[in-house]
Amino acid sequence: MYSVIAVVALMASCSKTDPTPVPPPPPPPVDPCLGVTITPVAALTHTITGQSLGTITVTSPIGSGFTYSITGVPYQPSVNFFGLAAGNYTISVKNASNCVGTKTVTINGYGPKFYAVRTIVNGYCGPCHLNGAISGGKNFDADTDVVNSWDRIKIRAVDGIPSFMPEAPNAQLTAIDKQKIVDWVNAGHRITD
Ligand code: HEC
């Protein structure tokens, strides 16, 4: 008898018009890029003004899952970009989760004679004077360092006074390369020559 009353009381307390409970809000979507910082680092070579000889090589980050883009070029697996005219380029690096980091770089336009000398210095004066190395107090990473040392570069790499630099592979520059340095010096030894 008491149990019947209890059941009736329970049924009466539960009406069909009770509001359905509000479901809890879904958790916010997890941003896969939260806490991910991609900082592109790249090595550049420049170009003769009016030509498209510049290159960009992304040196970091590298590894599986990364793709690379520069202004006007879609994402690609290769870190290398060739045939670039002088100007500004935004490098974009994307990881497998589509997180992107960017950096803007400038491909410089050189005069043809300086371009030749810059290429010789890049090819033969490292590791001793490039990438931060300062043998004999000389570092040639910046173009202005090459310009400011034009006389010493000619004296050591062309004239060999008091000695030639030990260019790889343990030989002097070729006569053709020495002449390129002489031509640049005689033209005025500027970036625009
Ligand atoms: C294997 C290392 C090495 C390479 C490669 C090298 N150098 Fe040097 N360089 C040195 C050292 C060591 C000194 C300091 C001793 C000396 O002056 O000989 C020096 C000093 C110099 C100096 C400053 C001294 C001065 O006489 O004014 C200049 C300029 C220079 N090098 C130019 C060049 C150029 C240009 C190249 C490339 C064509 C080159 N070096 C390649 C090692 C190197």
Q: Is the CB of 65 under 6 A from ligand 1?
A: no
Helix axes 175-187, 112-124, angle to 10 degrees: 140
DSSP state for residue 157 in the 8-state scheme: I
* Mutation test residue for ligand 1: of 119, 122, 125, 129, the one with most atoms within 8 Å of CB: 129
Q: How far apart are CA 7 and CA 23, in angstroms?
A: 29
Give Cβ neighbours of residue 165 (< 8 Å, ≥ 6 apart).
Answer: 124, 125, 128, 156, 157
The domain limits of the chain are: 41-109, 111-187
Q: Name the percent of the chain lying above pLDDT 90.
A: 79
For the domain spanning 41-109, the CATH number is 2.60.40
Q: Tell me the per-residue pLDDT of 80-111, one tens digit each, with 9 for 90 and over.
A: 999 999 999 999 999 999 999 999 999 999 99
pLDDT at 8: 46
pLDDT at 159 over 80: yes
Nearest CA among 176, 171, 168 for reference residue 160: 171
Q: Is the CB of 154 under 6 A from ligand 1?
A: no
Q: Which of 4-13, 98-107, 161-170 has the highest mean predicted lDDT (pLDDT)?
A: 98-107
Q: Is the CB of 167 under 6 A from ligand 1?
A: yes
Task: Work out the number of other CB atoms within 10 angstroms of the CB of residue 25.
Answer: 6
DSSP state for residue 45 in the 8-state scheme: E
